[in-house]
Structure 1
Amino acid sequence: MSFVNEYVSDEDALKYDLDNLWNKYCYWGLKMPEALTYYEVHQHDWCVDKERGYWLFNCGYLMSEESRSGYPEPIDKEVFILHVNGQNIEFILTSHGLGATDLYPIHYCWNIVSMAPSCLPNMSKEKLLTILKEALKVYKNSGIRDLEGNAEVLVEFNF
């Protein structure tokens, strides 16, 4: 089996404490679980490989206190949690746009800002990055919340 975008069951959301993972990085707006009411489907979403027990969860954009407005504003860094072998690896990623193609009007490249931890006892950094790439190729831009839009996305990696 490979990665697929799907909504998270209530049981898995509790098991992996996804509300608190989201709240750890979301410094503005509503916290979970109240924030789920703003989505059409009131559940968390992730990119999951059930056979291997891996998942990728987007925790949203980091905020900057140093904005022109004086209020916290999102910056171009997104937090993703990759769950592998029972452990969470925190990735902070940025992306930049690339030229559109005939088939893909949305074309961008992911870059790693940080990764913690950088390896697991039985898995190298290179293997973790391979798994992250597999998941991001499926997740694309918005996971299951915008499958139609994701069909127009071409993702590349600078790592």
Structure 2
Amino acid sequence: MDMVALTLFFLNGPNANLYGLDPSGTYGSESFAAIRARCLAHAASLGVALDFRQSNHEGVIVDWIQEARGKADAIVINAAGLTYTSIAILDALLAFDGPIIEAHMSNIWKREAFRHHSFVSRAATGVVAGLGALGYELAIGAAAQLAAQGAQAGVAEG
């Protein structure tokens, strides 16, 4: 699967920077820095560029999604707590023209009822949840493959 020249944005929302520090173990023991390194290595193995970011601020995430419109072929997003509340993130994602993969470290449907509805899912091409950092890698692979298929379709049409 040759995906050279593809760029993916991987956007992480509030408190993702605390992965590995949660005493409940909901998000595993791997630190955010280790997960980031793992994701960058996986993307490199696929031949895609990965821009991996985290913010605790909704507006910053909206700005990044808008930035992706001109710079990224696909978005992977774990909006974290904003998944369940942010119409602004939904609206920004709906304006993005490439594949969007929603990713969650935990299985949000096995957690509190308020986590069962995701605004992000309305814009997402697909969802990966409950597989920890492995899910992040799977989401990167899916986004890269879908973006490559879209790019190939665009070349075939042009």
- Do both proteins adopt the same fold according to a TM-score greater than 0.5, normalized to the shorter chain? no
Greater relative contact order (Cα < 8 A, sep 6+): 2
- Structure with the bigger percentage of helix: 2
Point out the structure with the larger strand share: 1
TM-score, normalised to structure 1, is: 0.31
Q: Could you tell me the TM-score, scaled by structure 2's length?
A: 0.31
The structure having more radius of gyration, on CA atoms, is 1
